[in-house]
Structure 1
């Protein structure tokens, strides 16, 4: 467990980036490179990076981006052979990634294949933080680090971790200037809540699902599907945006993290 009052500059953090054979877990894609950098009190403690044999071919689009090839991955370590090192790095740390849901989903899937617990603890996502703190035409990691003259990502895992860490420290400075200094403050800012902003009111069933980390069956009406559809979701957090309140959740139907407008949830039922 973590103490929400811990100062962000003192917290144990694990900066994470993965390269994958493709973008979709549903299509059978897997992790093919992992990089971790652990820091405490703003100082690097250790780093770890290695290629992973994914047991399947790279998607041509992914290979074009990261420059990896099937032959070198076939000679790489298995995920099973490095999982203990990954767990040791993660012990007691807050995960930090750019678009954390993507990396967490792939990492947790690999853990599940080995019967290991998922990485479902607290994490910091620099993507929504950047959107709250900066005004940029693009919030991709490369676009942000280019604009801010920070180390550049290359779509190789450790280079991207170094870029991620530099972006995080830049954002932390902006947060401190606004009086956002603790882990709790940081998690709230991701959700669109400044220190003076009260917690939003939500239907009791959604509040209970969030508090107890239980899935929900919802009936949802979206722009893409005007007819309401039933779907099972695993709530992550509530997000306050300028145009309303949203539920961020993993959607079983889409097999991905999605954002649901509270006003468009026509019914919700707790599941065990």
Structure 2
């Protein structure tokens, strides 16, 4: 599949609206939308409100304007999760700021008792930052206004429709840079040039990335020069300048972090999720 041309590759554009910004503090998905493309044509469109089983934060309501009344009677995520997995089977997922949506997806699937998704994810935010380095903003709205899409409204399907148009325009510019296949774009989004060899990192990092598993590591940083042991869930390797980073969810910080790859001492694979601190528990 990685050799498929971008214009015909199977893709699922998706977006979530959420009750807040932090799934580890109990925030939930309250709307989902997806649009599936096969052979360059749309073959599925789906959207639904989701009962998040908790109130929206004031900040989230100001953004998406989804009211409690609208959510009354909506299905819970667990009720649609199996169907979503079937619709996503095979294609590559595409989202803007995909790390945000992917972490909510991981959290919701875990709550539903389902395994994590294992399909590749393309982040149009990361692609745009590399493709258009001189632009002052790489938000979906800014890209939509300059690439011919209707501006998104912060409702899930409107954002998905804008994302599809933005992605289509970006693929034309990517072709000029020599990126024409799905595999080439996955590497380009991570900062690697076409044809560059796979990064030389600890084998267990590749295993964790390929199997969606966690790692127990030891790491030191400028903030904590004394090495600390922590559990991380690797998401992707990417290069910034001459430095190779591992993007991962860190259960020590309970946040996404970028680790300098050659400073990581990998101890072991693990499937034990560390407990969430009491003061971050869901209320």
Which whole-Å deviations, capped at 9, do the CAs of 1:35-89 have from their partners, x for residues lacking one? Answer: 0101112211120111111111000100011011122212322223333432232
Q: TM-score, normalised by structure 2?
A: 0.87
Query: Partners in 2 of 1:107 and 1:156 — Cα distance?
Result: 17
1:249 lines up with 2:227 in the alignment:
no
Tell me, which stretches of 5 or more residues in structure 1 are unaligned?
none
Shift of 1:212: 5.7
Q: Distance in 1 between matches of 2:210 and 2:103?
A: 21
What RMSD over aligned residues (CA atoms) do the two structures have, in Å? Answer: 2.0
- The aligned runs of 1:34-73 (5 Å cut-off) are 34-73=32-71
1:1-272 residue pairs with structure 2 within 5 A? 3-135=1-133, 136-207=135-206, 209-210=208-209, 213-265=212-264, 267-272=265-270
SS at match of 2:158: helix
Residue in 1 that maps onto 2:275? none
8 A contact 2:17–2:155 mirrored in 1: yes
Q: How many equivalent pairs are there?
A: 269
Question: How far apart, in 1, do the equivalents of 2:178 and 2:62 lie?
Answer: 42
Q: Distance in 2 between matches of 1:163 and 1:133?
A: 18
What's the TM-score once normalised by structure 1's chain length? 0.90
Between the aligned partners of 1:213 and 1:36, the Cα distance in structure 2 is 22
Structure 1 residues 231 and 154: CA distance shift in structure 2, 3 A: same
Against the structure 1 CA distance between its residues 71 and 212, is the aligned structure 2 distance closer, same or farther, given a 3 Å change threshold? Answer: closer
- Change beyond 3 A, Cα 1:211–1:19: closer
Contact kept, 8 Å, 1:55 with 1:74, in 2: the verdict is: no
**Distance across 2 between alignment mates of 1:31 and 1:237:** 23
Q: Is the 8 A contact 1:236 1:249 kept in 2?
A: yes
For the residue of structure 1 that corresponds to 2:143, the secondary structure is helix
TM-fit CA distance, 1:220: 2.0
